[in-house]
Amino acid sequence: MRVLEAIARTGSVTAAARELNYSQPSVSHHIARLERESGAQLLQRVGRGVRLTEAGRVLAERAAEILGRLDAAGAELASYVSLGAGRLRIAAYSTAVVALLPPVAARLSREHPGLQLEIVDTHPPEALEMLRRGAVDAAVVFRYDDEREEGPIRLQHLRDDPTYVLTRDPVGSIRALADETWVGGCERCTQHLVELCESEGFAPRIRYSTDDMVAIQALVAAGMGAATIPGLALAAHRHPDIVATELPGAERHIFLATYGEPPDPPPIAALRAALARGL
């Protein structure tokens, strides 16, 4: 079709061959093949030249439109591959959005200004579900155990995040807080708190529950109870009136979750590279 469009635009086989850098026999071969495929005569000899038949004129007009769209698609694809355009959607839990992703997002924006970056704040189970149904391209999630994802979701370990117990006054161990009131966090965080306390021989009395890490610290500082909090959240904001004691062996594991087998699409590869340099 590109040959036919060139003939229609330049007015001759010779000019079309010159423009496309083809030999005249090659141009004739392309036209003959196109006529066989379309089942219509496209060119008519007139003296030493040719002119388009009605079928050739109709196809040439469509060819110009089709080739324009193909060229635009090729340019768009090349821009996507080179990260001059495209979109990268990331779902992440709140602490990662606050303390982990900002420098990574800034690096991606500097290195690939044409890449549209979108970040969704949500809990790990919801983030993984969004990844499964294609609503996001990647997810930053955490685990307290060694459970692995089934199927096409791939998990890349990014780092471990230590757990701290928050109190108003220094404590020697979590066991010393058996009679204390507790502030719970998200569902999985609260489950982890219960497991930690039960491993020390008591069940925590949880009276308050909030996903807001700043609110958790404020409640502890006000004397409303003790709490556990991840180190990243503590690094992002630390109330001056609390004591944070690290709990050895209680860290949570942070992963980048992606969908499908390697190789990664260019935006995911760029995200992995930015995370590797930013952590």
**Secondary structure (H, E, C), 104-168:** HHHHHHHHCCCCEEEEEECCHHHHHHHHHCCCCCEEEEEECCCCCCCCCEEEEEEEEEEEEEEEC
pLDDT digits (tens, 9 = 90+) for 153-194: 999 999 999 999 999 999 988 999 999 999 999 889 999 999
* pLDDT computed for residue 78 by the predictor: 74
Closest to 210 in 3D by CA, of 244, 182, 175: 182
Q: How far apart are CA 94 and CA 148, in angstroms?
A: 22
Residue 73 or 107, more confident: 107
Upstream peptide bond of 263 is cis (omega within 30 degrees of 0):
yes
Residue 17 or 140, more confident: 140
208 pLDDT tier (thresholds 50, 70, 90): very high
Are the C-beta atoms of 215 and 191 separated by less than 8 Å? no
pLDDT digits (tens, 9 = 90+) for 245-273: 999 999 999 999 999 888 888 999 999 99
Residue 48 or 236, more confident: 236
In this structure, which amino acid lies at residue 23? S
Q: Which residue in the block uniquely carries the two structure tokens 């404020």?
A: 218
Q: What is the mean pLDDT of residues 57-79?
A: 79
Are the C-beta atoms of 131 and 139 separated by less than 8 Å? yes
Q: What is the mean pLDDT of residues 128-140?
A: 93
Mean pLDDT score of the chain: 90
* pLDDT computed for residue 79 by the predictor: 67
* pLDDT computed for residue 150 by the predictor: 64
233 pLDDT tier (thresholds 50, 70, 90): very high
pLDDT digits (tens, 9 = 90+) for 13-46: 889 889 889 998 898 898 899 889 889 898 888 8
Question: What is the token pair recorded at 196?
Answer: 């930690």
Domains and CATH numbers, the chain: 2-81 (1.10.10.10), 88-155+255-278 (3.40.190.10), 161-252 (3.40.190.10)
Q: How far apart are CA 275 and CA 278, in angstroms?
A: 5
Q: What is the mean pLDDT of residues 88-109?
A: 94
In this structure, which amino acid lies at residue 135? A
Count the alpha carbons within 13 Å of 113 in the hemisphere toward its beta carbon: 1
Closest to 115 in 3D by CA, of 262, 270, 260, 264: 270
Q: How far apart are CA 35 and CA 29, in angstroms?
A: 10
Q: How far apart are CA 81 and CA 142, in angstroms?
A: 30
Residue 122: how many other CB atoms lie within 10 Å:
18
Percentage helix, strand, coil for the chain under 3-state DSSP, each rounded to 5:
45, 25, 25
* pLDDT computed for residue 149 by the predictor: 66
Task: Say yes or no to pLDDT of 222 above 90.
Answer: yes
By percentage, how much of the chain surpasses pLDDT 90? 59
Q: Which run of H or of E encompasses 66?
A: helix 54-81
